[in-house]
């Protein structure tokens, strides 16, 4: 029996990258995992299949964030999936991972891009947490994926970093609000992590990125997923409202 046996979890944006690695690890520890995706249905179903092949339990839920009714769509699918498999719609672990990046110089950030970044990266997590309050069991876990870019600069991601700064405030304030229920709320900040993007197929680029880490290497999704799994476990019961640096030492300077 894993540390998360009989627990239920929702991981947003878990069809690939850090979200996928997190879903796999939580399922390995025994949790029933709702694998959320917006457009990558095939990848999400692949994640579910991999979990089930390893003896775990999972199901896919779809919702595109940043559009009207996004949170309602997510929770209708989540509650239906949980009730079908457990008989109740109780959630133990919520991981807010889904996000998009900007990738343009500050002068090229349009109001439309700015609004979309905040809608998906900050507004959706806030209202997902709000909606989850009625489902979360006492002693539950909320883990928000932030970014090392809230601590070191990349001008092409200024607006993205602003959204992740907002996400960190969710942890700070909701940790205080939910403490009486034993629910912990924390932020995990990855650094440069190989998410399967084409740039990670370029050896020279990978070498340059690796030098930013104290370990001299680029992070793997599982490096972050393992940190999330720790925070989701009872071992982390005394950690809340915290910012966890999972950048591989990038913030050391």
* 182, two tokens: 């034993």
What is the per-residue DSSP string for 128-148? Answer: HHHHHTTTEEEEEEEEEE--G
What is the per-residue DSSP string for 1-70? Answer: --TTTT-EEEETT-SSHHHHHHHHHHHHTT-EEEEEESS-HHHHHHHHHHHHHTT-EEEEEE--TTSTTH
For residues 165 and 179, the answer to whether their CB atoms sit within 8 Å is no
Active site residue ranges: 160
What is the C-alpha separation between 161 and 34, in angstroms, rounded? 27
Centre a 10 Å sphere on the Cβ of residue 118 and count the other Cβ atoms it contains.
Answer: 17
Encode burial over 192-201: b for 16+ CB neighbours within 10 A, e otherwise.
Answer: bbbbeeeeee
């Amino acid at each position: 029996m894993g540390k998360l046996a009989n627990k239920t979890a929702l991981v947003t944006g878990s069809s690939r990258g850090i979200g996928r690695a997190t879903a796999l690890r939580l399922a390995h520890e025994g949790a029933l995992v709702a694998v959320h995706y917006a457009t990558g249905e095939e990848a999400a179903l692949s994640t579910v299949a991999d979990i089930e092949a390893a003896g775990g339990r999972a199901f896919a839920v779809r919702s595109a964030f940043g559009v009207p009714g996004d949170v309602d769509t997510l929770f209708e699918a989540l509650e239906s999936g949980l009730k079908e498999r457990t008989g109740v719609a109780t959630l133990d672990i919520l991981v807010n991972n889904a996000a998009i990046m900007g990738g343009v110089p500050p002068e090229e950030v349009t109001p439309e891009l700015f609004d979309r970044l905040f809608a998906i990266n900050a507004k959706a997590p806030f209202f997902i947490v709000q909606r989850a309050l009625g489902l979360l069991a006492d002693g539950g876990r909320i883990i928000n994926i932030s970014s090392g870019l809230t601590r070191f600069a990349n001008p092409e991601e200024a607006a993205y970093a602003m959204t992740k700064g907002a996400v960190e405030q969710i942890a700070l304030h909701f940790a205080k609000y939910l403490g009486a229920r034993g629910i912990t709320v924390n932020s995990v900040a990855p650094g440069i992590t190989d998410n399967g993007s084409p740039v990670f197929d370029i050896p020279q680029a990978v070498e340059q990125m690796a030098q930013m880490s104290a370990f001299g290497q680029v992070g793997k999704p599982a490096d972050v997923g393992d940190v999330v799994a720790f925070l989701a476990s009872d071992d982390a019961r005394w950690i809340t409202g915290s910012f966890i640096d999972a950048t591989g030492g990038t913030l050391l300077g």
